[in-house]
Amino acid sequence: MRNFKYLFFLICLGCSATKVVVDFEPDTNFAQYKSFEFYEDSGDNLNDFDRKRITTAIQKELEMKGMITNAQPDFFIYFDAKYSEIQANNTIGIGLGSGGRNGGFGISGGIPIGGKKNNETIIIKFVDASSNNLVWEGSLLSAVKEKRSPQERTSYIDIVVRKILEE
């Protein structure tokens, strides 16, 4: 049953409106890049847990492509995230009313349903180590639940990083 919950989460993530945006220096020979290292200030807007999750996901994806971490890297990696709140459009309305010849009385209200969601943009940048120039940048914007378990956060970050680096 527990695995079904994660499978459902991944299916919902796959169906959500996510958009990967990539930009890069067109004259760059990406085949020259074999080693990488992370900037120390990567993930300033993230908590320590998410910073570690993103670092691990990026490292895993790049190592699967044959790259290695190195103290004297070919390129540096910077990543961060931006958040904004999504206004809840789904509400249940409740109302009371009264009427008559002498006037009226009414009360109404709305209760949001579905839980609070945020827009989250994860950004990854590659900077050439010798020139210190940005050579590649990728980002993904998606709507996510505010309250997620650590396992849901890890699964989400693994998928997002994979989607961004596929480009």
For residues 108 and 24, the model is more confident at 24
Question: Residue 167's pLDDT band (boundaries 50, 70, 90)?
Answer: confident
The pLDDT value recorded for residue 63 is 97
pLDDT average, residue stretch 5-21: 56
Query: What are the CA-CA distances from residue 41 to residues 27, 51, 74, 121 (Å)?
Result: 27, 10, 18, 17
Report whether 161 contacts 43 (CB < 8 A).
no
pLDDT of 165 above 60: yes
CB distance 163 to 122 below 8 Å: no
The yes-or-no verdict on residue 59 having pLDDT over 50 is yes
Tokens coding 67:
């790259």
Q: What b/e readout covers 150-164, taking b as 16+ CB neighbours within 10 angstroms?
A: eebebbbbbbbbebb
Strand partners, 140: 20, 122
**63-85: per-residue pLDDT in tens?**
999 999 999 999 999 999 998 87
For residue 143, the model assigns a pLDDT of 84
Q: What is the mean pLDDT of residues 128-132?
A: 96
- Mutual orientation of helices 2-15 and 150-166 as an angle, nearest 10°? 40
pLDDT of 89 higher than 80: no
Q: What is the mean pLDDT of the chain?
A: 82
First to last CA, the chain: 34
